[in-house]
Amino acid sequence: MKLQNKIVYILLTAFLGYTLLFSGFIYYSISHFSFVDFYKRLEIRAIATAKIELENPNENNVVQQLRQEYLEVLPNESHLILENVDKSGVLDDPRLELYSDSFLKTVLAEGIATYNSQNTFVYGTLYQTPDGREHLVIFSAENYFATHHLAYLRNLIFTSLAIAFLLIVVFSVMFSRKIIEPIQNIIKKTKKIGLENLHMRLEVPSSNDAIRELSQTFNDMLNRLETSFETQKNFISNASHELNTPLTAIIGEADVTLSKLRQPQEYIESIKAILEDAEKLQRKTQALLLLAETGFDGKRQKFGKVRMDQLILDVKETVEKIQTKTKICLDFSLLPESPLLLKVMGNEPLLHLALSNIVLNACKYSDGKPVNIALGVVEGMIIVIVKDSGIGIPPDEMEYIFDPYFRASNTKNHEGYGIGLPLARNIIRIHDGELRISSVLNEGTTVEIRLPRGNFQL
Amino acid sequence: MAKTILIPTDFTVRSLNLVKIALQKNYQSQEKLRIILVHGIMAPTSITELLFYSKAKELEELENAEFQASCKLLLGKFDEKIERMTIDLFSGFNQSAFENYLDANHVDEAYIPANYKLKLTSRSSFDLIPFFSKSKLPLTRIDLEGLSSSASEEREDALAALFFTQGQIAR
């Protein structure tokens, strides 16, 4: 069953059950009250009549006056008085044929009884005159209230039930739609996200409720998924570019040396060159494998203490292995005095990967000019600034730089797939951080990474 | 005993390099430092404006987030060294008013940029450097242009402007 229908049914049942119970209770108590009230009226009339007819049949006494003046005549009112009844034989009296047997028996046994058939209500009692004789007094009348007012009340309740039903249906349909709508939006958006556009994210609503939590959880999951996919792509992309150059050099060197017979000295020199290139290749492979490690080992994404200054030194080392020509300058002049302020709650390999991607980019696009890395702390935020004097990013392409596979128009002379930066941003996002980039074309790019400080005690 | 240092500011991060250098130069000495960042700005001229004039509000308008972040960065780094760091507005018209201000705040020393023109942030801002040059304070002129690793092109209010000042990379 669809969730929307489910909500409608639940609401309908609950509300209708409540209204039914409520109106049933009212109807029952009103009709009960009207019956009791009417029997009381019959009782007064029966007793008054008995008093008038049995005790002083000839006098115009006070009771008669009261009855005539204050007791309203009921519709179809009639009474029957059997004087001086004999309890055993009275049931055979032909005048009692109209009344039911059980009623008469109760009257004789208990002294008082009531019953109603259709709209005629009957009250019977044994009346004792002061001289000790017992008389059977039966008074009957039609209950106008029951016939008219109760019917009106019943109609009223049924109509209001029908109206309430309509209202509840409309209300619950609207309510369920309102509840379901954001979920359906999420479903629609999530369906659109596939392997090919893993960088898309759900909108996180500003209200603070379960929907917000749901979309945030989805986004977090997508961040992690995308990161693990991209880590592998990143390795392949880096490897294909970085490993090719020394390999080509080795092959070329060997080819040239083998082309003719040479002096031993020449062989020694060329083998030395080959060895140097091979060593370079080995260092590069090691560094790349270190970066790719995060994608393969099973215990990944475990969070722990990471010291940012140490991390920057590590990254410098890694990057220098891969980009052999670059100069990296560190500026730790504004480091705080307490090392506690430099610790981030994070996953070291991932942060390493993110930072080295940014620094590698800076190195790649600055053609041997020095790259600066600085570290500072502002109010619980750890800020890493990577600044290069490279080719920069064209201002109108700034908004696309985080899209996977996007490469700025001025990067034609540099190899790459456009994977590093989105990956870095994802990793920073996983750490609740922020990545800001500002750039001036042909003059350089400044990347600012802000990471929240971990709450560690000494 | 604390030393009071007066430094002109234009609420850019780059101008805070003066503070950084002043602090680094005094790092070895025992004295603590009281730093006053001062910005020249005319007081409003109408009576109603003067009635509701508030220095704090004025400062709030002039400072931007990056500037505040950089101040905090400096405070975090030189926490031990700084006794107090304040940002003040000076709105006097002539040299004697400025001398008066120096006296009142017991200023011992001043750092001014050598060939960097302070940006006049608001319309009523004015340049304080002439007052500094004419006063008898011990002045230290710092070449801000030469300090920065890349020339003048940079956004001066970015946090990065506080870093990568060549020759000062230490510790």
Residues A399 and A251 in one domain: yes
Do the domain assignments include residue A256?
A: yes
Block means of pLDDT (10 residues each) for chain B, length 171 residues?
A: 87 85 84 90 88 88 86 83 89 89 90 81 84 87 64 54 54 32
pLDDT at A58: 64
Structure-block tokens of residue A36? 């009791």
> Which residues are CB-contacts of B71 (< 8 A; sequence separation ≥ 6)?
B16, B85, B87
Q: Is A329 on the interface with B (CB under 8 A)?
A: yes
Residues A308 and A441 in one domain: yes
Residues A31 and A146 in one domain: yes
Task: Please report residues of A whose CB lies closer than 8 A to that of B72.
Answer: 378-379
CATH code, domain with A349: 3.30.565.10
Q: Is A440 on the interface with B (CB under 8 A)?
A: yes
Q: Is B153 on the interface with A (CB under 8 A)?
A: yes
pTM (global) more than 0.80 = no
Closest approach of B147 to chain A, Cα-based (Å):
14
pLDDT at B69: 85
pLDDT at A166: 93
Quote ipTM for the complex. Answer: 0.71
Torsion sign (Cα): A309, A313, A319, A325: positive
pLDDT at B149: 46
Task: Please report residues of B whose CB lies closer than 8 A to that of A446.
Answer: 158, 160
**Contact assignment for B158 to A335 by CB distance below 8 Å:** no
Give the residue, A400 or A159, on which the prediction is more confident: A159
Task: Convert the pLDDT of each residue in A256-268 to its tens digit.
Answer: 888 888 888 989 9
Q: Which of A99, A125, A150 is the last residue of a domain?
A: A150
**What separation in angstroms does the CA of A177 have from each of A12, A16, A214, B157?**
15, 20, 18, 49
Res. A21 pLDDT band, cuts 50 70 90: very high
Do the domain assignments include residue A198?
A: no
Residues A193/A219, Cβ–Cβ less than 8 Å: no
pLDDT at A155: 92
Do the domain assignments include residue A205?
A: no
Over 80: is that where the pLDDT of A285 sits? yes
Facing B163 at nearest CB: one of A372, A378, A440: A372
Residues A303 and A444 in one domain: yes
Task: Convert the pLDDT of each residue in A376-428 to its tens digit.
Answer: 888 778 889 888 888 888 888 888 888 777 888 888 777 777 778 888 888 88
Res. A230 pLDDT band, cuts 50 70 90: confident
Owner of token pair 């600085």: A374
Closest approach of A374 to chain B, Cα-based (Å):
7
Do the domain assignments include residue A200?
A: no
pLDDT at B150: 44
pLDDT at B169: 38
pLDDT at A170: 93
Q: Which of A98, A119, A150 is the last residue of a domain?
A: A150
What is the arithmetic mean of pLDDT over A148-156?
A: 88
Q: Is A400 on the interface with B (CB under 8 A)?
A: no
For residue B20, give the nearest of B138, B113, B119 by alpha carbon: B113
**Contact assignment for A337 to B77 by CB distance below 8 Å:** yes
For residue B121, give the nearest of B1, B4, B14 by alpha carbon: B14
Structure-block tokens of residue A388? 């290069």
For residue A332, give the nearest of B74, B15, B169 by alpha carbon: B169
Task: Convert the pLDDT of each residue in A32-76 to its tens digit.
Answer: 998 898 899 899 888 888 888 887 666 667 777 777 788 888 888
Describe the strand order of the beta sheet including B32-40 as a list of residue ranges: B82-90, B32-40, B2-8, B109-113, B139-142
Structure-block tokens of residue A416? 């790459």
Residues A345 and A427 in one domain: yes
Residues A269 and A124 in one domain: no
Residues A222 and A93 in one domain: no
Closest approach of A390 to chain B, Cα-based (Å):
11
How far is Cα A27 from Cα A29, in angstroms, rounded to an integer? 6
Residues A7 and A120 in one domain: yes
Describe the strand order of the beta sheet including A371-378 as a list of residue ranges: A328-331, A371-378, A381-388, A444-452, A434-440
Residues A305 and A406 in one domain: yes
pLDDT at A20: 92
Closest approach of B21 to chain A, Cα-based (Å):
11
Over 70: is that where the pLDDT of A214 sits? yes
**Contact assignment for B77 to A334 by CB distance below 8 Å:** yes
pLDDT at B145: 66
Res. A18 pLDDT band, cuts 50 70 90: very high
> Architecture of B2-162 per CATH?
3-Layer(aba) Sandwich (3.40)
Q: Which of A150, A173, A188 is the last residue of a domain?
A: A150
In three state form, how does the secondary structure of chain A look?
CCHHHHHHHHHHHHHHHHHHHHHHHHHHHHHHHHHHHHHHHHHHHHHHHHHHHHHCCCCCCHHHHHHHHHCCCCCCCEEEEECCCCCCCHHHCHHHCCCCHHHHHHHHHHCEEEEEECCEEEEEEEEECCCCCEEEEEEEEECHHHHHHHHHHHHHHHHHHHHHHHHHHHHHHHHHHHHHHHHHHHHHHHHHCCHHHCCCCCCCCCCCCHHHHHHHHHHHHHHHHHHHHHHHHHHHHHHHHHCHHHHHHHHHHHHHHHCCCCCHHHHHHHHHHHHHHHHHHHHHHHHHHHHHHHHHCCCCCCCEEEEHHHHHHHHHHHHHHHCCCCCEEEECCCCCCCHHHHEEEECHHHHHHHHHHHHHHHHHCCCCCCEEEEEEEECCEEEEEEEECCCCCCHHHHHHCCCCCCCCCCCCCCCCCCCHHHHHHHHHHHCCCEEEEEEECCCEEEEEEEEEECCCCC
pLDDT at A458: 64
**Contact assignment for A334 to B74 by CB distance below 8 Å:** yes
Residues A126 and A241 in one domain: no
pLDDT at A301: 60
Domain ranges of chain B: 2-162
The per-residue pLDDT of chain A, averaged, comes to 84
Do the domain assignments include residue A457?
A: no
Which 3 state secondary structure label does DSSP give B28? coil
Residue A287's Cβ-side half-sphere holds a number of Cα atoms within 13 Å equal to 24
How many structural domains does chain A have?
A: 2
How far is Cα A176 from Cα A4, in angstroms, rounded to an integer? 6
**Contact assignment for B153 to A440 by CB distance below 8 Å:** yes
Give the residue, B26 or A25, on which the prediction is more confident: A25
As a residue count, chain A comes to 458
Q: Is A444 on the interface with B (CB under 8 A)?
A: yes
Q: Which residue range(s) make up the domain with A437?
A: 212-452
Residues A133 and A228 in one domain: no
Residues A121 and A220 in one domain: no
Q: Is B27 on the interface with A (CB under 8 A)?
A: no
